[in-house]
Amino acid sequence: MHYSGPQIISSCPNNTVTGGNMYSSGSTHCCAMRSGQGSNMNSKSKDDIYQSRVICLHAFSDLTHVSPAMFVYLLRECYICGTKKATFKFRVLQQQVLNALRNSPQPEPAVFIVQCLYILPLLGYPYTEGFSHLLISSYRRLQTKDNLSNSFESKRIASQLFLNILNHLVPHEERILIKLMEAFDLKLKEIAEVICGSSEVNDGHIDSAKTYLGHYIYKFIESQSYMTAVTLLEHFSICESVDSSLSFLDKLIQANQFKVAEKWAILMGKPMIRLLIKKYVEMNKPKNAYDMIKANNLKQEFSDVCQLYEQSSLKKLEDIVLHESPESSHSFLDRMIQNKQYKAAEKWAILMGKPMICLLIKRYVDMSMLKHAYLIIKANDLHEEFADVQHLYKQCLLKKLAEKGCWDVAEFKTNKDRQLLDYLVYLALEAGYHEKVEELCDRYSLSGFDNSIALPLHSDHR
């Protein structure tokens, strides 16, 4: 793969970066952008490879003396200097941040992340929210990969930041508030400790924390931030803070917040779920009612509702078909697809037989809806007729997994198919992940791949 535009270079020995210059001040190294004319360029081939400008991320190789403010500044500079699409830059930076968090940030990775979150609002739009997501997601990956637990100190300052965001002292979006709460698994006890300023809390302090949070939850409800309100109620188990569960459910339904209403009903238990189902029936929303019944295993209790929904769905299909001549089967299928009624289209195709099923699969392929096509192929045992479509879908699946860094899952999904393994090696080459290329080639005796065609990112994609 040929790389154009800036490339991200990982740390190099002896504080040098091939093809670029680096500035340092004490132990803190700044991000440098220079053309490929450095003194280390010893051959024309290197000049050709590194003639584009580069971003030096070598400052992230040791965070012992790097302050959160400098780290945030370097992060922004790395992002600004890149010319790739935002998604690609964020993916690479996420991996670099994950690696950096293993390089002695002081006093510890979790505290360092919270300190950075205090600073990020100074960057303003669009960096604040994007980089906040980046740092929190990188920290969560570190927790998972390194089995890292939250320390007492990290939970304390995370709780303080959580309250500061609630109080609008630190201007972060609601989404960041929720992600912070979930990443550090904040509990009422930690919130109470921050509010009362002591590590020794009693039931009275816990009740005070509930009241305090309840005040802000009401504000979220009043501003129609229902999902945030319900998520906080669920996480801190303070549903009693809402005076009337029934009126809150009604308020959600009136605001057409059906997903939030369902989450609230599930949180409150089966009586509330039953009530929501009845309200759906009264509102003539049989599908919503049916989905809730099915999801909560209440088919016996609401058998009449299920039967009514299934009969009404079948009747609607029959009514439409009665007005269609046999010659217009194709146009009827196209009409359903245009209206994005894919389940109905699949039901119609199965009703009409194999030729219509094949036509629907082709329509899905034309619309790049490969997953839909694959599921129809699988359900109707059409593997031989559409082997190419299956292969294309599996390639797309591998690419998505590779982009997320799920290389082991992607390898498992190949099921040792040679063509898919070759494609996975190509993806690893494209990402500059040479360790995975060598690993796959050795394990499956693959040959014909040249590692030199991709410029290494030196990232751990596993």
Report whether pLDDT(448) > 50.
Answer: yes
Phi-psi region at 151: left, alpha or beta (left = phi > 0; alpha = psi -120 to 50):
beta
Q: In whole angstroms, what is the distance from residue 116 CA to residue 98 CA?
A: 14
Only one residue has tokens 């917040």, namely 257
Q: What is the pLDDT of residues 329-350, one digit of tens each?
A: 677 788 888 888 888 888 888 8
List for the chain the helix, strand, coil content (%; round to 5).
Answer: 65, 0, 30
Long-range contacts of 164-170 (CB under 8 A, 24+ apart): 166/213, 166/216, 170/117, 170/118, 170/121
Beta strand 54-56 with 7-9 is parallel
Beta strand 28-29 with 7-9 is unpaired
Return the pLDDT at 224: 82
Looking at every residue in the chain, the average pLDDT score rounds to 78
Output the CA–CA distances (angstroms, integers) from residue 334 to 315, 328, 343, 371, 432, in the order listed.
Answer: 20, 10, 13, 19, 43
Residue 192 — pLDDT band, cuts 50, 70, 90?
Answer: very high
- Comparing 18-27, 164-173, 308-317, the range with the smallest average pLDDT is 18-27
* Mean local confidence (pLDDT), 140-159: 88
Tokens found for residue 365:
């392929």
- Comparing 1-5, 162-166, 255-259, the range with the smallest average pLDDT is 1-5
Residue 12 — pLDDT band, cuts 50, 70, 90?
Answer: very low
DSSP three-state, residue 56: strand
Report whether pLDDT(121) > 90.
Answer: yes
Return the pLDDT at 149: 83
Return the pLDDT at 424: 87
Residue 317 — pLDDT band, cuts 50, 70, 90?
Answer: low
Return the pLDDT at 23: 29
Q: In whole angstroms, what is the distance from residue 21 CA to residue 28 CA?
A: 15
Q: What is the pLDDT of residues 240-273, one digit of tens each?
A: 655 556 678 888 888 888 888 888 888 888 888 9
Report whether pLDDT(166) > 50.
Answer: yes
Q: How long a stretch of residues is the chain?
A: 462
Q: In whole angstroms, what is the distance from residue 189 CA to residue 170 CA?
A: 22
- Comparing 22-31, 52-61, 235-244, 419-428, the range with the smallest average pLDDT is 22-31
**Largest alpha-carbon pair distance within the chain?**
82
Q: Is the dihedral of CA 181, 185, 187, 191 positive or negative?
A: negative
Q: Does the predicted TM-score (pTM) go above 0.75?
A: no
Return the pLDDT at 240: 61
* More confident site: 402 or 30: 402
Return the pLDDT at 22: 30
Within 186-341, residue ranges assigned H as helices are 188-196, 203-222, 226-236, 245-254, 258-268, 270-282, 286-295, 303-322, 329-338
Report whether pLDDT(443) > 60.
Answer: yes
Q: What percent of the chain has pLDDT over 70?
A: 78
Output the CA–CA distances (angstroms, integers) from residue 364 to 275, 293, 360, in the order listed.
Answer: 39, 30, 6
Q: In whole angstroms, what is the distance from residue 235 CA to residue 12 CA?
A: 44
Q: What is the pLDDT of residues 279-291, one digit of tens each?
A: 888 888 888 888 8
